Structure 1
Amino acid sequence: MSKKANYSYIGIAFIILLFGIIFIPKIVDRVSNGDISRTDESRSEGLVVNGKKTSKNKSDLEYLIIDGQPKKVPEFSFTDQDGKTITNKDYLGQVYVVDFFFTTCPTICPRMSKNLAVIQDKFKDNPDFGIASFSINPENDTPEVLKAYAADYGVTSPNWHLLTGAKEDIYKLSNIGFNIFANIENFEHSGDFALVDKEGYLRSRKDAFGNPKIFYKGVISEQEKVDEDGNEQEITVIQEDIAKLLRE
């Protein structure tokens, strides 16, 4: 080997050594201080929510992004089965499930309410969990009617509010606020549940394509496992995701 080549190797080695002395300690220090993200952190890490980046204890549940922003539950104010005024602010600090129903519904509503009672009992000892059930037939579903319905379906949690109010406000909240279909003309409505985190944002797990599922099937029970169309129950799934949000 020539002296010229030998000098070149010595020069390269010196540069590598110098890089290691100067830069590697800085990189290690930045990783230690959390300035550099690790690849196994949640996709929600670093998302700007309410002007702040989400913290590292966020779960892997996705936000529903509308126009580049995570969707937050709009303001609402309704009356519950005890005659109390309940607003969206009463749910801040709680993880809660949302559904739309009416007490005289003969088909999917009884099944949804029974499944919600199962979820209620799963988290009965946790004051940070709640349920909001909005009636789409407020003209019939007065607080007194809702109170009787609550007794029939085993509503025991102080954080499960069956809510009634102005019809237009309820339908706007359903279709626009929660993106859950409801038809004001003939009382058609979705059998889906929405899930809201402690800060009032809509959250869900990802689908097979990596996008937010947005909703959870609320009609099929854990015992049924699948419906007549082969759709799998998601009561177990939503309970798992409630637990994740409660840990955030």
Structure 2
Amino acid sequence: MNFKFNYYWLLLLIPASFVVWNFIPNKQKAPTHYLAYFGPKDASKVNDTTYHFIPDFEFVDQDNEKVNLETIKNKIYVAEYFFTTCKSICPIMNSNLDKVYKEFKDNKDFLILSHTVDPETDSVPVLKEYSLAHSVTDKRWLFVTGSKPKLYELARKGYLLNAEEGNGGEEDFIHTQNFALIDKEQHIRGFYDGTDSIEVNRLIQEIKLLIKEYDYKKTASL
């Protein structure tokens, strides 16, 4: 009698424990590894980090809307430099970014920022037409233009995508195939050759790893 009684309660407890287990929020597992930080450390900073970070900027996108630090707040994003009339590396780079865009377009914490290196040609209407050619109808992929000196300064001193000296003058020109991956604190977490499909696949995987890092930090703090 006692055996039957215990067995009966055991049959009730098994499905009950299954329900409880599935309704308790599961904490994320820690990432297998964390991405490195790139760039020189800033010894003058006394806050929570001394890692190199992207400085303040302000441009306009294909919808003639401001793009600044508020736009990228709490966002993981990929930065690139291109120009719409480019016939060499840029079409390959942005064809590869199409894959990145499609992979993460439903993630509200992700962006792509494509900065023109030829703002005299790449006006807002030109960038709008270019964005539509890439089937971009949302704010997950922004094509930005603005002051050439400021665009070039950000490429060199912010994203570290070009090591050549220059001031963004008439004779100055940046033509790089590299992408930079930026985290939510505006730190550089990776560089990738945008013309190499293997490198772009690595970019996609490392974006996922960075997303997992933030998910883990969020659940670990609960």
Residue 192 of structure 2 contacts residue 199 of structure 2 at CA under 8 Å; is this kept in 1? yes
| 1:83 partnered with 2:69 | no
Partner deviation per Cα, 1:184-218 (whole Å, 9 max, x = no partner) = 526341100000011211113xxxxxxxxxx1010
Matches within 5 A, 1:5-154: 59-67=33-41, 69-154=50-135
**Which of 178, 181, 184 lines up with 1:198 in the alignment?**
184
Partner deviation per Cα, 1:116-158 (whole Å, 9 max, x = no partner) = 1110001122111100000010011111000001111222441
Residue 120 of structure 1 contacts residue 157 of structure 1 at CA under 8 Å; is this kept in 2? no
Distance in 2 (CA, whole Å) between partners of 1:157 and 1:116 is 15
Question: By how many angstroms is 1:58 displaced?
Answer: 9.8
Runs of 4+ in 1 over 3 A off after TM superposition: 56-59
Return the TM-score normalized by structure 1.
Answer: 0.65
Residue 180 of structure 2 contacts residue 192 of structure 2 at CA under 8 Å; is this kept in 1? yes
Residue 159 of structure 2 contacts residue 180 of structure 2 at CA under 8 Å; is this kept in 1? yes
Distance in 2 (CA, whole Å) between partners of 1:85 and 1:148 is 18
Q: Pairwise CA RMSD of aligned residues?
A: 1.9
3-state DSSP class of the match of 2:181? Answer: strand
Q: Percent identity?
A: 36
Partner deviation per Cα, 1:36-62 (whole Å, 9 max, x = no partner) = xxxxxxxxxxxxxxxxxxxx8795101
Structure with greater proportional helix content: 2
Distance in 2 (CA, whole Å) between partners of 1:154 and 1:115 is 14
**Which of 143, 152, 165 lines up with 1:162 in the alignment?**
143
| 1:245 partnered with 2:221 | no
Residue 31 of structure 2 contacts residue 209 of structure 2 at CA under 8 Å; is this kept in 1? no
Residue 117 of structure 1 contacts residue 155 of structure 1 at CA under 8 Å; is this kept in 2? no
Question: By how many angstroms is 1:220 displaced?
Answer: 2.1
Distance in 2 (CA, whole Å) between partners of 1:57 and 1:149 is 37
Partner deviation per Cα, 1:140-185 (whole Å, 9 max, x = no partner) = 1111000001111222441211000001000100011111127752
Structure whose CA Rg is larger: 1
Q: Structure 2 unaligned runs (5+)?
A: 1-29, 43-49, 215-222
Return the TM-score normalized by structure 2.
Answer: 0.72
Residue 102 of structure 1 contacts residue 109 of structure 1 at CA under 8 Å; is this kept in 2? yes
Give the number of aligned pairs.
172
The structure showing larger relative contact order (alpha-carbon pairs under 8 Å, at least 6 residues apart) is 2
Distance in 1 (CA, whole Å) between partners of 2:141 and 2:61 is 9
